[in-house]
């Protein structure tokens, strides 16, 4: 039924009251009409999406492979698009192959019009270019089962491994000239060697000549301008992909007016248990030569102008000759020989992990050496068992099992650094043990290097004759002799012995290396030219003579003026060292950032004194800063940058982006259009309602 107001509106009544009433009623009808339109759009929206999806059912084109790029040192990012929806479940790590390295896993994320697939590699690569392709049974399928099964992409910039140290050697050419040779595991485009001493200099790649076709080994000759001791420090090497490596390897050379001109002749390569000759017959001196002193890897001592040696273990070994003339002037020359295994090598070592290893020895009745071809036999963070030598019965197969642990031995009186277990069922005698201790552990406990002793478990812990073999910033190496093999403990000598004995370090051979030097080799045979070698006491000196004065320097304190510096700042590092020895000496140490050496210094300490020196150091990267093996500060990134990490499409403060949940492809487009239309209609209705006074 139509009321009077409606009739009045229909008849066009125009008085003010009735006009407002008509406008009110017209607005209500308009609202009803627009609401019906919105409902129709809501109903027809899904139908339109269904129709669009139906078009996708006629899709006959496979997905398209768009790009392949480096995302991180061990990540390669691939992008694929398709005119429908790509089936994420059809993608697995086994679908792809890479020309270098191995794929460990992958991740799949939606992208505009397709997917982003990130390949996760097991390790960093040492090649710059990597080709990514499909495996023989690999494929990517879309919702309509259209498959992409072929194609490849090339990714560049994947080489992120820094060069590795292979060799750094000095060979005297004449009194004031030295041949400098450096070698790395891959081609180098840049290198830097610093020369310090009475005069300083710096050698770069331009000063060196490549001596092999692969540009991994370089050599130059350098003449020092003044008499005195010089240090050559290989500081830096850069590979062909621009990856830099701070080397910090040091060698020393002395230019003396009347020192002998040492010449060592001998092979550079041999095999296990093959006898080779080394001769110094061409060594000359104007005052006449008084003595020849040969050291095999810094320990075994022979005399005479020539020697015959045979090595029982494979690896690289140093032959060092010290020649003294009748006036007491001494010159030192070191040659390196590479010893290879043979098919019937009598000693075989099988590493199981860092702390365990097995070995098999075919006994000869002579002293034989058991050592890993690379590195230590077993090790922990504190102690390392570098090698073991012993005599085993002839024609007997001996099985050995090695284990290293940081545990303290039971019923052990004194400071302990770790244990070595050597299990065997066959008798062994004339044993010797080469081991090393972490320098930082010695500094933390305040133990002097010369106070460390190896103990053998034989009805109680029995101390063994132990001597220091070499020292570096990181480790101190020792040699000990034992009547047999069993369980060994690395500890400190009794208080009474410590009070009366100093460091048992033998005189150095003129060479200092900031990494652990090559281990001493026990020889199957070791003969001089007929002159008997002087018998040796436990401290490395000839029997019946007094030990020569020598330094015994330990870093006792390291401080830095800023414990939380930032990249780009310069800090002041102070190092305190104490010399408990009987001779003046210098102590080389490195400043390291993230385990890479960024500088090398020497602190001179007179006998029986303590010295503190300060050094300014610029910080070029973030990470842990350590000096002489002691961590002193954490370097943080420089301040500045965006307040919110990531972008709108990434993450903010570690929270996921909600927009990443929005569906992609046709469904996302249709849904977005529908939502946008609803928002527009709502806005119109809201404005009209305000206008009408609702």
For 88-111, give the secondary structure using H, E and C.
HHHCCHHHEEECCCCEEEEEEEEE
8 A C-beta contact, residue 77 and residue 158? no
Cα 115 from Cα 314, distance rounded (Å): 52
Question: Of all helices (H) and strands (E), which one includes residue 233?
Answer: strand 228-239
pLDDT tier at 419, thresholds 50, 70, 90: very high
Burial of 395 by CB count in 10 Å (0-12 exposed, 13-18 middle, 19+ buried)? exposed
| Pairing outcome for strands 330-340 and 269-271 | parallel
Work out the average pLDDT over 642-670.
Answer: 45
The edge-to-edge listing of strands for the beta sheet with 610-618 is 553-560, 570-579, 610-618
Could you tell me the pTM of the whole model?
0.34
Burial of 47 by CB count in 10 Å (0-12 exposed, 13-18 middle, 19+ buried)? exposed
Work out the average pLDDT over 289-304.
Answer: 83
Q: Say how many C-beta atoms besides its own lie within 10 A of residue 107's C-beta.
A: 13
pLDDT tier at 103, thresholds 50, 70, 90: very high
Among 460-469, 537-546, 659-668, the minimum mean pLDDT is found in 537-546
**Residues 371/374/377/380 CA torsion (nearest 10 deg):** 160
Work out the average pLDDT over 77-86.
Answer: 89
- pLDDT of the residue at 203: 94
Burial 3-18 (b: 16+ CB within 10 A, else e): eeeeebbeeeeeeeeb
Q: Which percentage of the chain shows pLDDT scores above 70? A: 77
- pLDDT of the residue at 494: 63
Among 7-21, 149-163, 531-545, the minimum mean pLDDT is found in 531-545
Question: Of all helices (H) and strands (E), which one includes residue 369?
Answer: strand 367-371
- Higher per-residue confidence, 188 vs 546: 188
Q: Give the tens place of pLDDT for each residue, 206-234.
A: 999 998 888 899 999 999 998 888 999 99
Helices marked H in 456-582 — which ranges? 495-500
pLDDT of 17 > 50? The answer is: no
The edge-to-edge listing of strands for the beta sheet with 306-311 is 276-279, 306-311, 523-528
- Higher per-residue confidence, 563 vs 293: 293
Which residue matches tokens 């849904």?
A: 671
- pLDDT of the residue at 622: 84
pLDDT of 443 > 50? The answer is: yes
pLDDT of 45 > 70? The answer is: no
Q: Give the tens place of pLDDT for each residue, 685-694.
A: 777 777 776 6
- Higher per-residue confidence, 16 vs 128: 128
8 A C-beta contact, residue 319 and residue 334? yes
- Ranges of beta strands (E only) in 19-155 are 64-72, 75-81, 96-98, 103-111, 114-121, 130-134, 140-141, 147-148, 152-155
- Higher per-residue confidence, 29 vs 337: 337
Work out the average pLDDT over 30-56.
Answer: 49
Q: Of the candidates 432, 431, 535, which has an alpha carbon nearest to the alpha carbon of residue 480?
A: 432
Half-sphere exposure of 226 (CA within 13 A, CB side): 10
- pLDDT of the residue at 20: 47
> First and final CA of the chain: distance in angstroms?
26
- pLDDT of the residue at 531: 42
Burial of 490 by CB count in 10 Å (0-12 exposed, 13-18 middle, 19+ buried)? buried
- pLDDT of the residue at 489: 93
Cα 108 from Cα 117, distance rounded (Å): 5
- pLDDT of the residue at 35: 59
8 A C-beta contact, residue 563 and residue 633? yes
Question: Of all helices (H) and strands (E), which one includes residue 5?
Answer: helix 4-11
8 A C-beta contact, residue 463 and residue 414? no
The residues, any chain, with a CB within 8 Å of residue 252's CB and separated by 6 or more, are: 170, 229, 230, 231, 232, 510, 511, 512
pLDDT of 462 > 70? The answer is: yes
Cα 369 from Cα 361, distance rounded (Å): 9
8 A C-beta contact, residue 524 and residue 368? yes
pLDDT tier at 455, thresholds 50, 70, 90: very high
Q: Give the tens place of pLDDT for each residue, 570-614.
A: 888 888 888 887 878 777 777 888 767 777 777 888 888 888 888
The residues, any chain, with a CB within 8 Å of residue 298's CB and separated by 6 or more, are: 318, 320, 469, 470, 506, 509, 517, 518, 520
Instruction: Tell me which range, 136-150, 292-306, 339-353, is most confidently predicted by mean pLDDT.
Output: 136-150
Instruction: Tell me which range, 492-496, 574-578, 653-657, is most confidently predicted by mean pLDDT.
Output: 574-578
pLDDT tier at 75, thresholds 50, 70, 90: very high
- pLDDT of the residue at 504: 38
Q: Give the tens place of pLDDT for each residue, 244-263.
A: 988 778 999 888 666 788 88
Q: Which percentage of the chain shows pLDDT scores above 90? A: 24
- Ranges of beta strands (E only) in 529-629 are 553-560, 570-579, 585-593, 596-605, 610-618, 623-627
Using alpha carbons only, how large is the chain's radius of gyration in Å? 38
* Assigned token pair, 540: 């490395």
Q: Give the tens place of pLDDT for each residue, 351-403.
A: 999 999 999 998 888 888 888 877 889 999 999 999 898 989 998 999 999 99
- Higher per-residue confidence, 29 vs 149: 149
Q: Give the tens place of pLDDT for each residue, 612-629.
A: 888 778 787 888 888 877
Work out the average pLDDT over 66-70.
Answer: 93
Cα 465 from Cα 455, distance rounded (Å): 9
Q: Say how many C-beta atoms besides its own lie within 10 A of residue 431's C-beta.
A: 21
- pLDDT of the residue at 26: 52
Q: Average per-residue pLDDT in the chain? A: 77
Question: Of all helices (H) and strands (E), which one includes residue 686?
Answer: helix 665-692
């Amino acid at each position: 039924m139509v009321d009077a107001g409606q009739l009045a509106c229909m008849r066009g009544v125009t008085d003010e009251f009735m006009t407002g009433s008509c406008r009110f009623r017209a607005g209500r009808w308009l609202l009803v009409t627009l609401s019906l339109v919105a409902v129709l759009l809501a109903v027809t929206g899904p139908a339109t999406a269904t129709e669009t999806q139906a078009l996708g059912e006629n899709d006959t084109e496979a997905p398209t492979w768009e790009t392949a790029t480096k995302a991180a040192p061990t990540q390669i990012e691939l992008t694929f698009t398709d005119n429908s929806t790509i089936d994420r479940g059809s993608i697995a790590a086994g679908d792809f192959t890479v020309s270098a390295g191995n794929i460990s896993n992958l991740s799949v994320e939606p992208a505009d019009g397709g997917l982003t697939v990130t390949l996760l590699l097991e390790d960093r690569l040492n090649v710059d270019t990597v080709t990514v392709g499909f495996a023989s049974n690999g494929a990517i399928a879309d919702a309509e089962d259209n498959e992409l099964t072929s194609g490849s992409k090339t990714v560049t910039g994947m080489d992120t491994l820094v060069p590795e140290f292979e060799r750094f050697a000095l060979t005297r050419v004449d009194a004031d000239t030295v041949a400098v040779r450096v070698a790395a595991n891959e081609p180098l485009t840049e290198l830097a060697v610093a020369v310090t001493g009475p005069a300083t200099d710096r050698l770069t790649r331009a000063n060196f000549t490549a001596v092999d076709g692969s540009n991994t080994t370089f050599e130059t000759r350098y003449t020092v301008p003044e008499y005195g001791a010089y240090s050559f420090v290989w500081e830096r090497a850069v590979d062909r992909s621009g990856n830099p490596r701070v080397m910090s390897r040091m060698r020393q050379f002395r230019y003396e007016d009347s020192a002998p001109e040492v010449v060592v002749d001998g092979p550079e390569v041999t095999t296990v248990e093959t006898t080779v000759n080394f001769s110094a017959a061409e060594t000359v001196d104007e005052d006449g030569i008084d003595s020849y002193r040969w050291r095999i890897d810094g320990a075994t001592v022979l005399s005479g102008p020539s020697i015959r040696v045979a090595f029982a273990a494979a690896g690289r070994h140093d032959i060092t000759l010290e020649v003294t003339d009748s006036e007491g002037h001494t010159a030192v020359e070191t040659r390196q020989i590479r010893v290879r295994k043979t098919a019937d090598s009598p000693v075989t070592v099988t590493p199981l992990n860092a702390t365990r290893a097995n070995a098999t020895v075919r006994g000869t009745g002579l002293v034989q050496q058991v050592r890993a071809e690379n590195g230590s036999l077993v090790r922990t963070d504190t102690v390392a068992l570098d090698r073991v030598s012993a005599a085993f019965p002839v024609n007997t197969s001996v099985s050995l099992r090695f284990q290293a642990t940081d545990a303290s031995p039971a019923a052990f009186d004194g400071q302990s650094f770790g244990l070595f277990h050597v299990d065997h069922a066959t008798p062994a005698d004339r044993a010797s043990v080469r081991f090393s201790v972490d320098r930082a552990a010695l500094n933390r406990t305040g133990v002097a290097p010369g106070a460390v002793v190896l103990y053998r478990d034989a009805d109680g812990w029995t101390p063994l004759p132990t001597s220091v073999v070499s020292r570096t910033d990181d480790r101190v190496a020792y040699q000990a002799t034992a009547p047999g093999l069993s369980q060994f403990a690395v500890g400190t000598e009794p208080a009474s012995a410590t009070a009366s004995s100093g460091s048992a370090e033998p005189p150095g051979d003129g060479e200092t290396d900031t990494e652990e030097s090559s281990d001493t080799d026990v020889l199957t045979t070791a003969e001089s030219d007929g002159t008997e070698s002087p018998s040796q006491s436990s401290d490395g000196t000839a029997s019946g003579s007094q030990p020569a004065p020598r330094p015994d320097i330990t870093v006792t304190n390291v401080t830095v003026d800023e414990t939380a510096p930032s990249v780009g700042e310069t800090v002041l590092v102070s190092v305190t060292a104490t010399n408990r020895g009987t001779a003046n000496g210098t102590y080389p140490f490195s400043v390291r950032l993230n385990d890479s050496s960024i500088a090398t210094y020497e602190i001179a300490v007179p006998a029986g004194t303590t010295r503190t020196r300060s050094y300014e150091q610029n910080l070029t990267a973030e990470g842990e800063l350590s000096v002489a093996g002691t961590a002193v500060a954490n370097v943080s990134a420089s301040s500045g940058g965006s307040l919110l990490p990531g972008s709108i499409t990434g993450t903010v403060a570690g929270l996921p982006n909600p927009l990443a949940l929005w569906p992609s492809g046709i469904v996302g487009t249709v849904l977005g259009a529908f939502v946008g239309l609803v928002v527009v209609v709502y806005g119109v209705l809201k404005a009209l309602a305000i206008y009408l006074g609702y």
